[in-house]
Structures are given as C-alpha cells and as structure tokens.
Amino acid sequence: MVKKPWGGRFEGPTDALVEAFTSSIEGDRHIAIDDVEGSLAHARMLQDVGVISTADGEKIAGGLRTIRREIETGTFAWNLALEDVHMNIERRLAALVGDDVAGRLHTARSRNDQVALDVRLFLRRRLRDIVEKLVALEHALIEKAHANIDVIMPGYTHMQRAQPVRLAHHLLAYREMFARDRSRVTDAMKRALVSPLGSGALAGTPHPIDRERVASLLGLGGVTANSMDSVADRDALLEVLSVSAISMIHLSRLSEEIVLFASAEFGFIEIEDAFTTGSSMMPQKKNPDVAELVRGKCGRVVGDLVSLLVTMKGLPMTYNRDMQEDKPPLYDSLDTWAGCLEVTSRMIPAVRFREDRLSNALREGFVTATELADHLVTRGVPFRDAHEVVGRIVGHCVAAKKTLDDLDLEALRRFHPDFGEDALEWIDVQRAVDRRDLIGGPNRARVAAAIDAARQDLEAAFAAGWLTTT
C-alpha cells in the first residue's frame, strides 16, 4: 500500500487491491500523447492570461515535450500506483521541472475535463486512420467493379435468384455502404471536436482563463456550452461506437457473401491462397477464414457499443467513476474495426469471379421472368395479369425441366396471345440489364457513370483532408 497521490483529505494509504482495481493505466496509454497535447495547450493559455509566469510556462512546456518524446519512443516509465495517465505524466513532469512548477499546470483544470478533452483529441487522431482505411476499401471495390463492368450475375432476394444485374453494380452497392460510414465519421467529428477544457470538475473555474484560446491552439472548432454537460457527456464516444458497429455490419454482410460465393454450392469466386487457410484434417479444404473472422468480429464491436450504452444509461450528473469503463470498448472497437477494414480492402483484389458459374446461375434461375411480365405490360396487359401469366410459364418450365431460353415465341403465345415478335429479346440478360436505364440502375452506361462519380468522390475526400473539424 502506498500514500495517495494527491489530497490532504486522506490519512491512510490505498489498499493494493483497490489500486489495481481502480487503475486505468493499461488502457489510458492510448491517450497519453493526447494528454500531453492538451496539457501543452493548457499551459500556454495559462501563461498567455498571466495565471502562471512565462518562466514557469516555458519550463512546463519543455518538460511536457520531453515526456512526449519518451511516450513516442516507449521509454516512459509507468507507475501503476499513480492510478491513471494524468498523474503519471504530472509526476514525471515534477521530476523534470520540480514539484512547485509542475504543480501549477493543474490550475483551473480537473481530471474530469482533462480526460474529456483527451478522448476527443484521441478520436480525431484515430479516426483519421479509420477514414483512410475506409477510403482504401472503397477504392478496392470501385476498381474491382471497373474490371468487371461487363460481367452479369444473378441478383438475389430472400437468397433466391431474382433478376440479372451487373457484377459491378453489386460491388458498388457495398461501396455506397462504406461511403456512408465515412460520411458518418466526418459528421460525428463535427460535434466531437470542441474543447471541454475549462469546465473543471463540473462548475468551471474562478481563474481568468481563455477557453477559446485552448481550442484554437488545439485546432478544435470551438468550446462546449455547459460545464456540467461537458464532463458528463460521452455522446462522441457513443456516436463513434455506433458508426463502428454499423460499418462492421456492412463488413459482415460483405464477408457473408464472400463465404457463400466461395462455397462449392455457389462457386462464384476463387480467393487467392494468401487470404485462405487449410484444414488440419481434410487436405482438400480451402477455407475463407479471413471473411469468416471479419464476420465474427462484428459481434464484438456491436457488443462494445452495447457495453457503453448500458454503462451510461443510469448515470446522474456529472462525472461518475463508472465512466472509466468508457474507453476500453472504444479502444477495442476502433482497433477491431481498423483491422477488419484493412484486411478486407486487401482481400478484395484477391477475389476472382468465375464468369462460367455466374452464367450458369443466370440460365437456370428464371431471372428474366420479370422481363416477360414487363414485356406484356408494354403491350397493354395489366401487370397483375402479366405476373399471373409468367408465373404459369415458369411453373410449366419447372415441370418440364426447361429454362426460359428453351421456349420459342409459339410456346409463349400458348400462355398469352399478346406476346410480341420481340418477346424473346426481353429474356436476354444483357438486354434486360441495360433496359434498366435509370439513376441507380444496372444499365452499363449508368454503372460506368457511377464508377466515375465514386472515383471523383474519393478524389474530393483526399482534397478535403477527409475530416472536417469545424
């Protein structure tokens, strides 16, 4: 047991078990750099407004820069008895510049508003990396779509073959998902990147500080509006965890299709050896383990979101120690999300589509049945009647073990006399896809335009630096 690191209120030491139980150091190492950055800005502001002298401010800044180098090089010595990242840095600063000077840094600041700032700075730093990985995955999907723009595949509803679409259109659907994820990150950061520093423990400070100066020094878009909310608020974390859970669901859905399409039953894709594994018993196996793991890790990230939601749901104003449990799910979620994005973006180029299997699936699945119904509609037949007619045609083909391609015009007219001379053209998959010439449709020109628009969107994201802070 050791003496408590601060306060004259306590006479006895903290029990060793309590020290270990309450310590957050292992997780807080993630925000150590951010804590130093926030402290540098705080010290500069205190010096600017005259709360501390120029000499003390310069000593503090020099000590903090030394600590930052130690953290970056891995030479910083962590002391579990000091409970958290803030006290570890403060004690190291005292060793560098003396207790009297170091003790002035915490003027007009509480650990409550300090950690609230640290986490926001951490989010800005980490989410830049996340956005880069989202962009990389979008790029991989766009280029795979471009390379397969002339490949037609069956689209599915209820996991049943439904209508023909371009493979590129299918791939771009996932790109849309990840583009929305990127937009959500950017949007969440608009609310997160404001400074809570100056809120103190909950009621601000009587010292003549300049909160806007701190925000400006840190490149933040402003300051929080209510001191109590500032230290009670964890919405930024919840938003990011929500985005990560949504994005992981998108990754899981993509992974599910990779697993299905790689199976012998589908056989639509072949995955390069670098992204598959074998079996310890069955020598013939080539397993899509990467996609399966991404799919599995989705549950973990969703659990991280639920964990923090449950932690926060019953807390009164303002800061409560329960909030120490806010960061482990955040760190885990971001690490898992980043890893899954990176491995998926590298796996997409390693996927080869088997056009022969896709063609067979198109021929066997009655995927142009809707085209025949639409053809009758163009000839004046009400759609519900046309639907009934084509349903009977499909039933006939199933019973006769035929496909729509096996029928001639005479056979079609036995079911309805209004089938026109061009009826058989309507069941050609290429024409069926290109007939859907509308915004958001699978027509070749529309898909080519969508690829160009997606590329331009990524170029704009690069030009904007991806994240907007104000």
What CA–CA distance (Å, rounded) separates 247 from 178? Answer: 7
**Structure confidence at residue 397 (pLDDT):** 95
Measured distance CA(191)–CA(243) in Å, rounded: 14
> pLDDT band for position 469 (50/70/90)?
very low
Write down the CATH superfamily of domain 16-107: Fumarase/aspartase (N-terminal domain) (1.10.275.10)
Q: What is the pLDDT of residue 467?
A: 47
CATH superfamily of 360-442: Fumarase/aspartase (C-terminal domain) (1.10.40.30)
Mean pLDDT, to the nearest integer, of 40-67?
Answer: 98
Looking at the domain that runs over 112-355+458-464, which CATH code has it been given? 1.20.200.10
d(CA 129, CA 30): 14
From 382, 378, 371, select the one nearest 425 (Cα to Cα): 371
Distance CA 443, CA 11 (A): 78
Average per-residue pLDDT for the chain: 94
Identify the pLDDT of residue 8. Answer: 61
For the chain, report the end-to-end CA distance as a whole number of angstroms: 47
The structural domains of the chain, with segments of one domain joined by +, span 16-107, 112-355+458-464, 360-442
* Residue range 240-264: mean pLDDT, rounded: 98
Condensed to tens digits (0 to 9), the pLDDT of residues 117-139 reads 999 999 999 999 999 999 999 99
Distances (CA, A) of 446 to 180, 208, 391, 443, 452: 20, 60, 30, 5, 10
pLDDT at 145 over 80: yes
Residue 470 has pLDDT above 50, yes or no: no
Distance from C-alpha of 277 to C-alpha of 275, rounded to nearest angstrom:
7
pLDDT attached to residue 6: 52
Residue 303 has pLDDT above 90, yes or no: yes
Question: Which neighbouring-strand residues pair with 287?
Answer: 277
- Pick the closest to residue 453 from 152, 184, 168, 244 (CA basis): 168
Mean pLDDT of 84-89: 94
Which tens digit of pLDDT belongs to each residue from 444-464?
Answer: 999 999 999 999 999 998 887
Residue holding tokens 């180098």?
A: 69
pLDDT for position 58? 98
- Tell me if 24 sits within 8 A of 78, measured CB to CB: no
Q: For the CA atoms of the chain, what is the radius of gyration? A: 30
> Does pLDDT of 253 surpass 60?
yes
Q: Is the pLDDT of residue 468 over 80?
A: no
pLDDT at 13 over 80: no
Asked whether the beta carbons of 255 and 344 are under 8 A apart, the reply is: yes
Active site residues: 158, 279
The string of pLDDT tens digits covering residues 194-235 is 999 999 999 999 999 999 999 999 999 999 999 999 999 999
Averaged pLDDT for residues 400-427:
95
